[in-house]
Homo-oligomer: A and B are copies of this chain.
Amino acid sequence: MSQAADTTYPTRQLCEFLANLKLADVPAAVIERTKDLFLDWIASAIAGKDAPAVRKLQEFAAAMGPSDGAAEVLVDRRRTSPYFAALINGASSHVVEQDDVHNGSVLHPAAVVFPAVVAAAQAEGKTGAEVLLASIAGYEAGIRIGEFMGRSHYRVFHTTGTVGTLAAAAAVAKLFGLDAEGINQALGSAGTQAAGLWEFLRDAADSKQLHTAKAAADGLQSAWLARAGFTGAKQILEGAQGMAAGMSSDANPACLTDGLGTRWATAETSFKFFASCRHTHPAADALKALMQREGVAADQIASVTTHVHQGAIDVLGPVVNPATIHQAKFSMGTVLGLVALHGHAGLAEFEQHALQDPAVAAFRGKVDMDLDAEINAAYPRQWIGRVTAKTTDGRTLTARVDVPKGDPDNTLSRPELEAKALQLGAFRQGASEAEMRAIIQRVWALEQAPNVNDWLPAAR
């Protein structure tokens, strides 16, 4: 019955690649990009401070977990066990919607991979280089698994919750130095815990934070258990009663091994320029370009049709009249209203204008989404933005952006990343400017760091 010796199935081939991966095999540009992603993550996690959903998970951790430990909780500067640190840092990483996204898999890798890896690394005294390698393993695995699960999966499941559990497990298993068999076991335990449904969008519920929290923590748990000898299903992804069988109708096993060792999926990951759901960004870029090119102001716009892929409709469609700032990040009309009226849809614009500004609400009513065959066919490899605006004086204007800001071919520069990190640190006074600048310098030299402990001074 055991398939211990069978290395012919795709999950196992992926595990063999992960087990053999060395930092020396990874192109320097990919390592540098991973540091960019790390900075973008830690700043996002710090910005999640004081978010109500995160606070409730902190209270849960205080009730159920140890009151001290080796792992750091970024939002309250306390220490606890790695499981609870991964849980809370996972929750806080995604709440301001500024963390990274991989287009092809529609996975937010940072929010699940880094919280798990850093928590485990702090408990085990791992170096910055080991953390970078483990994180790359998590990204490479998670992105391929997300692509494998296909578009049908994402229609109902929040891939960052489901697949994120496996990404975190792969990363921590690599950090622990497990062999292919051990990584395979970790993925088995992670896959059979993989969960996360989009239904919460209708109620603006707190589930998105629970998804990233649990993916990071359960992924860490799966790797920890695998190291202890706890076994999981070998073909948890492609098996007859595995994840794809239960949660996808268009899974493609070839995705699991796509370009292993030559294609670096980590470096395909995009940074967010707007503080909203990534599905709103292509249209927001296109509307911004249209307004700049034509010199039209928001009050000259009578209506905007955004031409979108199906995934945008699935995720943004349920949000008609946002009740919270977090829900407004999933409202196409709100994001376009902020861009049109306030020039940007960043953290500050959401805080100050998303719910309070009647002009934004009015603009929201002028925006609709229309499924576009070409854009839908290009998705998820390419996230094309196209809008058609009608002006109050009767003109019909269109604009198109092929590569949204933040994608690898239109990426954020290091100065832009540093500026974004400083803004995120300042957002809830999660870190002082001096603390954030120290973090930035430490991240740029992460491959030489003797450890990844103590990003912020401990609370007293």
Contact = CB atoms under 8 A, between A and B. Distances in A.
Interface of A: 1-3, 52-53, 56-57, 59-60, 63-67, 81-84, 155-157, 161, 185, 188-189, 191-207, 210-211, 214, 218, 221, 224-225, 228-236, 239-243, 245-247, 314, 318-323, 327
B202 A197 contact: no
B247 A60 contact: no
B191 A197 contact: yes
B224 A60 contact: yes
Contacts of A155: 241
B81 A199 contact: no
B195 A207 contact: no
A76 to B, nearest CB: 16
B198 A195 contact: no
Nearest to A1: B323
A157 B246 contact: yes
A60 B225 contact: yes
Contacts of A229: 52, 56
Given A82-B64, A189-B207, A202 B156 contact: no
Number of copies: 2
Contacts of A64: 65-66, 81-84, 221, 224
A195 B157 CA distance: 12
Contacts of A221: 60, 64
A330 to B, nearest CB: 11
Contact of A233 (B3, B57, B202): B202
12 contacts: A1-B323, A2-B203, A56-B229, A57-B225, A59-B228, A65-B65, A156-B241, A200-B231, A202-B240, A207-B232, A241-B314, A246-B247
A239 B1 contact: no
B207 A233 contact: yes
B202 A1 contact: yes
A314 B59 CA distance: 42
B233 A203 contact: yes
B323 A199 contact: no
Contacts of A188: 199-200, 203, 205, 207
Nearest to A231: B205
A192 B1 CA distance: 32
A321 B234 CA distance: 17
A161 B241 CA distance: 14
A199 B235 contact: yes
A146 to B, nearest CB: 16
Q: Which of A193, A224, A225 has the most CB of B within 10 A?
A: A193
Nearest to A196: B192
B230 A56 contact: yes
Contacts of A59: 228
A56 B226 CA distance: 9
B156 A1 contact: no
